[in-house]
Structure 1
Amino acid sequence: MAMNKVRITVLKTTLDEELAEEYGVPGLQACPMMRAGQEFYADYAKPEGFCDEAWKAVYQYVFALAHGGDGFAFYHDDWMREPGCAIVSCNDGLRPVIMKLEATDLPAELGYEPVR
């Protein structure tokens, strides 16, 4: 099966003010690394400029969608309304970033020749 790129759109950055007040450093704000409206395209590797910690939290969803996520019940009829789409977040408990992942028809760029 061919691997395609997945579009990652930052929907919003958040800050749980109650938890930040109790556990965060003074003056903690929403994530400074990502901003609403940013778009990235990913396949087998983290896109350039994408937060390392956010990638650790979402790469398994990207990988599944890149390999034909439309067929996964995990994403459709159980969690998400539309097939080939997932709404996910990074794992920062005080200031999570919410992202939309969408399967595309754009072929992945492996960056190397596969062994045949």
Structure 2
Amino acid sequence: MNKVRITVLKTTFDAELATLYGAEGLDACPMLKEGQVFYADYAKPEGFHNGDFEVFFHPQE
């Protein structure tokens, strides 16, 4: 199986939305940095969030 390349282009954090809808103490993700590159097939790449991986490879209908 071929792998796909996932590149982090931009990271953002909207404090207003986090205050309204997020859990208390929610802050920007410390794991993903702009320019990071991941290669993946059906297995989650090292350093990638479980939730993010689910969005890419197992979209909800």
What is the aligned length? 58
AA of the residue aligned to 2:50: D
- Look at both structures and tell me which one has the larger radius of gyration over its CA atoms: 1
Q: Where does the alignment leave 5 or more consecutive residues of structure 2 unmatched?
A: none
* TM-score computed with the length of structure 2 as normaliser: 0.73
Q: Which residue of 1 aligns with 2:46?
A: 48
1:43 Cα deviation after fit: 1.2
Moved over 3 A (4+): none
Shift of 1:17: 2.2
Give the RMSD, CA atoms, in angstroms.
Answer: 1.9
* Partners of 2:32 and 2:19 in 1: CA distance: 21
**36-45 or 10-19, larger mean C-alpha shift:** 10-19
Percent of aligned positions that are identical = 62
Aligned partner of residue 11 in structure 1, secondary structure = coil
**More strand, by proportion:** 1
